[in-house]
Amino acid sequence: MSTNSKNQGFFANLQYDLPASLVVFLVAIPLCLGIALASGAPLFSGIIAGMVGGIVVALLSGSPLGVSGPAAGLAVIVLTAIQELGAFETFLLAVVIAGALQLILGFLRAGVIGYYFPSSVIKGMLAGIGVIIFLKQIPHAFGYDADPEGDFAFQQVDGHNTFSEMGYMLEFISPGALLISALSLGILLLWERPFMKKLPTSKLIQGPLVAVLAGVGLNLALMGVDGWALTSEQMVSIPVADSLVGFFGQFTFPDFSQIGNSQVWIVAGTIAVVASLETLLCVEATDKLDPQKRITPTNRELTAQGIGNMVSGMIGGLPLTQVIVRSSANIQSGGRTKASAFFHGILILISAMAIPKLLNLIPLASLAAILLMVGYKLAKPSLFREMYRKGSSQFIPFVVTIVGIVLTDLLVGIALGMAVAVIDILWQNYKTPYHFDPDKHEEGQPVTIELAEEVSFLNKASIMRTLDQLPDGTEVIIDGSKTRSIHPDVIEIIDNFRENAKTKNITLKVIHLLLDRKYVDPVSEVNKVVSSTAASSNGKYGELSVKKN
């Protein structure tokens, strides 16, 4: 299926995409600046990455709703890399090389990796990010902005953690910021009401835009009011150039003389792997949020991200990925196609070039209200109830992923969720379909163990456990009529049990066992099993019929 409907052009949904792009732009600006600050990079490098993610990646990507930009998950890597490499220009070379490596991954069709993450973990990732966004924005809503926007790690750059920050902020409440965030949040809630959604103007003028404009107006009204006026730290802070020449002077170029520096290549490889994994996870999550349930071509996405990172590194930008915060804001604001991501990049470029002073009037408290809504929608209580109803095999990895993301970071949380999901798979393989309860066995009746369709080495433990529990003097039938493939290790276990059965006076019959050529050598393994069967003196201990492919 194509990512976009064949009858839809790039400009076919502008009535939806343009308003959505404006909301994404408002969310992206402080995040671009905050991630740059948390990364120890020039602030303008975050703006450059936002431009490239919107303009370049959006045009090349096949994702209809994904939005790319500087990634919070890379902030620690970037901070450490800049310090180790000694110069920002050297780091930019690593970003360019990382983009080239991602390009190669796209050509090698490595995008399939994203499909191996279970739904429970992906939904846990969405909910975990929602919880993080919500918790991280509470201090900003109260006017305490010591921790920059875009710092989503549990241990923060300001020395606090996610939870201690909320206690510490109580000593620094700003009444002006609190009033602005309350007004902005009230407007956003009003726009969510059913009667507002029916009004034609509410579809063209998004609630977040009204909230930001109201915040700017209230901020201007509070200027000069002692104790209520906002400080510069409580507002957006885009670097302001004196002229067009000064604007372009903020772009930086990589130092290609360091191409032989092995440390540069190590940093590049790290960025390429982490950025690709974050992008693939975000693609999977964004596709789940898409109301039209379109499927993003992942290999094309890796290629687009690779080119985007090469361009970003060439002109002084941070490494970028597809980002769930901006992507979910895009979806919640009614975006329909990748035009919304593209125009958000254009808006970043125009505003940074022409109206930075106006943007610097936007209170972070207004943007906090917007992100509080985004976070809540990603982690709605109804999602937790839905996952709980699906059973422990879905709910436990879901919760572990959330807790891991909140208490560590995105990739560690995903890894913990995956580990729990894999353990659950191993446990289920251990328990079923070979369980045998000796207490329920009727004496004199044969015990039938029906093998599953696919019997892998993961089933070894359960088979050994079941065979070991069989009572002495029993007639046992191992039925492989449904089995399409069986691992040699399992065949060996059955062979060993045939010998052990003689000591327990157990009669064993192995019937209809299909040996899959993918697992079993068609000559040696068949001969091995048949000869083992023939070794029984009078057929007392079993008979084996083998169905070949």
Cα–Cα distance between 140 and 144 in angstroms, integer? 5
- Nearest C-alpha neighbor of 475 from the set 514, 517, 445: 445
CATH number, span 438-547: 3.30.750.24
Cα–Cα distance between 520 and 221 in angstroms, integer? 79
Under 8 Å CB-to-CB from 308, ≥6 apart: which residues? Answer: 52, 53, 56, 57, 60, 68, 99, 320
**HSE of 260, CA atoms in CB hemisphere, 13 A:** 1
Cα–Cα distance between 136 and 409 in angstroms, integer? 13
β-strand partners of 455: 486
β-strand partners of 493: none
How does pLDDT run along the chain (549 residues), one tens digit per residue?
Answer: 344 444 457 788 898 999 999 999 999 999 999 899 888 899 999 999 999 999 999 999 999 999 999 988 888 899 999 999 999 999 999 999 999 999 999 999 998 888 888 889 999 999 999 999 999 999 999 999 999 888 888 988 888 999 999 999 999 999 999 999 999 999 999 998 888 878 877 777 888 999 999 999 999 999 988 889 999 899 998 888 888 888 888 999 999 999 999 999 999 999 999 999 999 999 999 999 999 999 999 999 999 999 999 999 999 999 999 999 999 999 999 999 999 999 999 999 999 998 899 989 999 999 999 999 999 999 999 999 999 999 998 999 999 999 999 999 888 999 999 999 888 877 776 655 455 556 666 677 788 888 877 777 777 877 887 888 788 888 888 888 888 878 888 888 888 888 888 888 888 888 887 544 333 433 334 334 433 443 333 333 333 333 333
Query: Which secondary structure element, helix H or strand E, spans residue 52, and what is its range?
Result: helix 43-52
38, 75 in Cβ contact below 8 A?
A: yes
Distances (CA, A) of 219 to 215, 222, 230: 6, 5, 7
Burial of 395 (0-12, 13-18, 19+ CB in 10 A): middle
Q: In a 3-state reduction of DSSP, which class is residue 261? A: coil
Extract the tokens encoding 483. 């089995």
Q: Where in the chain is the domain with CATH 3.30.750.24?
A: 438-547
